Amino acid sequence: MSDHLAAAFPQLASNLPKIVLADLPTPVTELPIATALGQRQISVKYDNETGRLYGGNKVRKLEYLLQRAHDKNARRVATFGTVASNHALATSIYARSIGLDCTCLLYHQKRTPNAPSVLNMHLQNETELVPVGGSRKEQVRTMRRYFRDRDIRVIPAGGSSWLGVVGFINGALELAAQIATGEVCAPDRLYVANGTMGTAAGIALGLALAELPIEVQAVRVTHDFVASPPAMRRLMVKTATMLNRLDASIPADLADRTRLRFRDEFFAGGYAHTNEETVSAVDIAREQLGLSLETTYTGKAMAALLHDIEQPEFAARSMLFWNTYNSRPLPVGNERPSDVSRLPEEFLRYYD
């Protein structure tokens, strides 16, 4: 059983279909790690392995979002992100897998090592790449120009609408089932990167639905105009409200039952920025846990876990790291392509 939400709430499943994209359940295991207080055990949920085409946390969301696009007879989807956005790339890859074209409106970001390969993958996937920036009015004009009269379904940045959140409610129920069968012990705290908030919101709602008293540590990796406690609250309330309308057996006050702590301390000064603490966390995860993380999202979530696990007051607390980073290798290199005719000129800077 991979769809625990549908199994527990069949009326919801009939009202809220999804297209199967992910290989579920993703594994979970316990691993040893050395700390200043001695060796500890932490659990890892391998959502880096959600899909064969592309892994990471976007696949669970896209199962619902792309189904909705299909139901609305869209021929193309459009979404937003930064140049190296995992969400934008995952949307393009999985949209094409079900026969939909994709437009990605991309904002500039700090240069990162993976940006060239992400752009090359977009080119291979025939994504329509659109630079977006300037004033809000300029951005709206760009959107209108590319969205008008094209049978487009817009997918929000990060897939973090209430509909995308549902994918991680199912993910949390999947974890609850793995705990129930003894695959892993129930943790006291769960650490996850918090970008556009949909992943953390869904996990918190799902754990509340499963009546598990696990506290979600939502480690902010984006600017506060993207992710904030009030915005997180609104997203969870809206999701719970919509699900209750579709299936009255889901509590309307589900958001009030969540246990979530919004963590700001590991932002490292900006989106895609890093610091010594983040780099160290990535190194420790690779050397001791065999995990391949990065410094924009998962390295910051791991930095939070590593900080907390060395605090004496948490010596008796068990912790789980939810790995949201794609582990599927891209079938492209990072070299500047010989034909750049389909690449916006201003994106060439990411190959320098």
DSSP 30-70: EEEEEETTEEEEEEEEEGGGS-SS--STHHHHHHHHHHHHH
Same domain for 41 and 66, yes or no, is no
> The tokens of 334 are what?
């990072």
User: Which three-class secondary structure state does DSSP give residue 156?
Assistant: coil
Same domain for 19 and 81, yes or no, is: no
**26 and 67 share a domain?**
no
Residue 219 lies in a domain: yes
Check residue 220 and give its pLDDT: 98
Answer yes or no: do 295 and 207 share one domain.
yes
Residue 83 lies in a domain: yes
Report the pLDDT value the prediction gives residue 1, as an integer from 0 to 100: 52
Residues 130 and 221 in one domain: no
The verdict on residue 167 lying in a domain is yes
pLDDT at residue number 2 = 74
* pLDDT score recorded for residue 155: 97
Contact 61, 159 (CB under 8 A): yes
What's residue 36's pLDDT? 87
Nearest residue to 266 via CA among 218, 324, 229 = 218
Ramachandran region, residue 269 (left: φ > 0; alpha: ψ -120 to 50; beta: rest): left
The reply to whether 244 falls in a domain is yes
Name the residue with tokens 């026969």: 99
Residues 125 and 272 in one domain: no
pLDDT along the chain (352 residues), means of 10: 89 96 97 93 97 96 98 96 96 97 96 94 97 91 92 95 98 98 98 98 98 98 96 98 98 98 96 96 98 97 97 95 96 94 95 92
Residues 119 and 68 in one domain: yes
Among the candidates 141, 159, 177, a domain finishes at 159
Q: What one-character-per-residue DSSP string does 150-165 give?
A: S-EEE--GGG-SHHHH
In this structure, the answer to whether residues 212 and 99 fall within a common structural domain is: no
Query: Is residue 222, in this structure, part of any structural domain at all?
Result: yes
Give the count of beta carbons closer than 10 Å to the beta carbon of residue 134.
10
- Please check whether residue 282 lies inside any domain of the structure: yes
Last residue of a domain, one of 125, 159, 193: 159
Q: Is residue 186 part of a domain?
A: yes
- Whether residues 213 and 256 fall in one domain: yes
Same structural domain for residues 95 and 189? no
Give a yes or no: residue 181 inside a domain.
yes
Is residue 190 domain-shared with residue 300, that is, in the same domain?
yes
Shared-domain flag, residues 153 and 178 = no
Map tokens 């990065």 to a residue. 294
The continuous run of DSSP H or E covering 29 comes out as: strand 28-35
CATH number of the domain that residue 149 is part of: 3.40.50.1100
Q: Are 252 and 239 in contact (CB under 8 A)?
A: no
Q: How many domains does the chain have?
A: 2
Segments forming the whole domain that contains residue 241: 4-57+160-323
